[in-house]
Structure 1
Amino acid sequence: MTDVVPTRRDSDGIDRRTIIKGAAWAVPVMAVAVAAPLAAASVNTSGLAVTGTQTGLLTLNLLDGGGTVTATALTTVPTEFTITNGAGAINQTATVTVTVGRPAGVNISVGRARGFGVASLNGTPSTPGQRTAVYQSAPIVGTFGFPLTTFTTTLPVNVPSNGTQVVPLVLGLAGTSTGVAISALTTFPVTIVVDFGNGLTRTATSSVVVPVGAGLL
């Protein structure tokens, strides 16, 4: 009797077609593993700076109550910030927080003055839910002084390799005024934080400068 030699041994368990299928599925997994570190490295090379300011007889929106107020003396406000990038594109959503502090060296113990907050960012008007304006408070006099304001939103960040993204910023007047006379130059510190997540943040600083007699506060 003639022996028949099988073309594939049953004990092998895997034929050539199975091996090819496994190789085809392995390629996309390797691609994903390489892409993630590149995106993280790009965020690590990013930067942030305030790149635009405006000085003039500005007309500013009242964020709490509506209407506008026009300055009667030259006032300076930041108008844009820029996200810079190194090698590798950034394409993600970040959280942006803008804080405007109280002016140093100007003390108001009774009554309230206005401060500054974000009227719009990247062309989108702010909403009351995105803004806070917190005054100082005391048991007898109640709330007083200038408000500390915060604004928080999300921002699509799309920056090409070695590119930039300019983000317009418009400030308005926050809080309420009880008619307190401000007879000193006031400088409000502005801090902008862009949070990319996973502990990666970038910070830029600027200021709002209001001279005596501007009639805004």
Structure 2
Amino acid sequence: MAGDEATGGVRRRTVIKGAAWSVPVAAVAIAVPARAASDACTGYTVTQEILPASGAWQYVDTITVYKDGVPVDVNGIVATVTFNPPIPNLNATESHNCSVAITVPQQEVVFTGTGGLNMSSTLQLGSGNVGPDRVTGVITVSAPQCPDLVDITEFDIPIVKAGG
């Protein structure tokens, strides 16, 4: 075809095709909520009590979840307690109304509710003469019907060596 060739024997279509691939592309992602939060997923709050138990450095960590100021059944609710700074040799025993798992490198205690109006577990927060004088961190709570976290609460609780 006449006019398809540029100087030097290169076809104009080849030059145009190459130019199209060399144009920089800017992609912009905009976060758009998939759906607005329903009333079922708002109004949650959480309280935490850490009280001395019978053994040295043993404390009962009790978590109560509220919806619009009223305690709710914890069945299916997941509360993750993250200690910051981490607690060496953290251990959990004697859980009530929940199952408890500890993730070691993150030093998180994950409570998964099985029913009742609160979840608790006895935590070992120190050993021998070594333990914290306070525990700090954050609790995150999720509910089964909600795709996102329903509450995030920071805590800072003084600790006195329990037991003997």
TM-score of the pair, normalised by structure 1: 0.40
Greater relative contact order: 1 or 2 (C-alpha under 8 angstroms, separation 6 or more)? 1
Give the structure with the higher percent helix.
Answer: 1
